[in-house]
């Protein structure tokens, strides 16, 4: 059991959070290896704060809503790891890998929008760069390699956003998936 050691602050008021409880989360690595994380769920200490939801501190090797290692997902998306690798044989299965690629491809616009909104402040991207029409996600994939998926996931999640789950993408952008021929 790995206990995440994060010390986050409230997104609404910036004040300290206290640990409300802990939740178990599975972390799957290549080859079907599983690790269990005990993730603290935090609550704002100020009872008058507008934000009274529970915050889960996400370890940086996990993506929100994904149980597989972010490094492994990234390798699959980049084509570094394929279903031919014996290490990943059956774990994850080919359909899962296909879904990860569709998940990132379908989120590019969403991620670009989020990155633009805080890229200048947090990532020290220049104004010229932010006004450029090229994809920031694409740029990050070349700048932070390996590690872009962890970075993007962490950044979005800790600012109250997330990489939209594939199932949700398919209902909001069905045309994209029809064009790209992704199913399942």
Q: Is 73 in the site for Zn ion (CB under 5 A)?
A: no
- Cβ proximity to Zn ion, 16 vs 174, nearer residue: 16
Closest CA to 150 of 79, 59, 76, 81: 59
Q: Is 17 in the site for Zn ion (CB under 5 A)?
A: no
Q: Which residues in 28-47 contact Zn ion (CB under 5 A)?
A: 44, 46
Q: Which stretch binds Zn ion (CB under 5 A): 7-15, 76-84, 88-96, 157-165?
A: 7-15
CB of 21 to Zn ion, least distance (A): 18
- As a three-state string, the secondary structure of 45-92 is CCCCCCCCCCEECCCCCECCCCCEEHHHHHHHHCCCCCCCCHHHCCCC
Question: Do 9 and 15 form a contact (C-beta atoms < 8 A)?
Answer: yes
CB of 43 to Zn ion, least distance (A): 9
- The Cα 70–Cα 76 span in angstroms is 10
Question: Do 155 and 63 form a contact (C-beta atoms < 8 A)?
Answer: no
- The Cα 109–Cα 176 span in angstroms is 12
CB of 7 to Zn ion, least distance (A): 15
Which tokens belong to 91? 């774990």
Q: Is 144 in the site for Zn ion (CB under 5 A)?
A: no
Task: List the x/- string, 44-63, binding to Zn ion by CB under 5 A.
Answer: x-x--x-x------------
CB of 26 to Zn ion, least distance (A): 30
Site residues (vs Zn ion, CB under 5 A): 10, 12-13, 15, 44, 46, 49, 51
């Amino acid at each position: 059991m790995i206990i995440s050691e994060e010390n986050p602050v409230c997104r609404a008021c910036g004040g300290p959070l206290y640990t409300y409880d802990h939740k178990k989360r599975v972390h799957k690595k290549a080859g079907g290896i599983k690790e269990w994380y005990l993730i603290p769920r935090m609550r704002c200490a100020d009872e008058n704060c507008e934000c009274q939801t529970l915050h889960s501190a996400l370890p940086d090797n996990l993506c929100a809503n994904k149980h597989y290692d972010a490094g492994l997902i990234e390798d699959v998306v980049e084509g570094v790891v394929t279903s031919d690798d014996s290490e990943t044989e059956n774990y994850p299965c080919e359909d899962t890998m296909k879904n990860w690629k569709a998940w990132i491809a379908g989120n590019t616009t969403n991620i670009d929008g989020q990155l633009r909104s805080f890229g200048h402040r947090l990532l020290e991207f220049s104004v010229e760069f932010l006004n450029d029409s090229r994809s920031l996600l694409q740029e990050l994939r070349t700048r932070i390699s390996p590690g872009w998926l962890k970075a993007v996931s962490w950044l979005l999640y800790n600012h109250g956003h997330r990489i939209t789950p594939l199932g949700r993408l398919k209902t909001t952008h069905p045309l994209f998936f029809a064009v790209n021929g992704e199913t399942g």
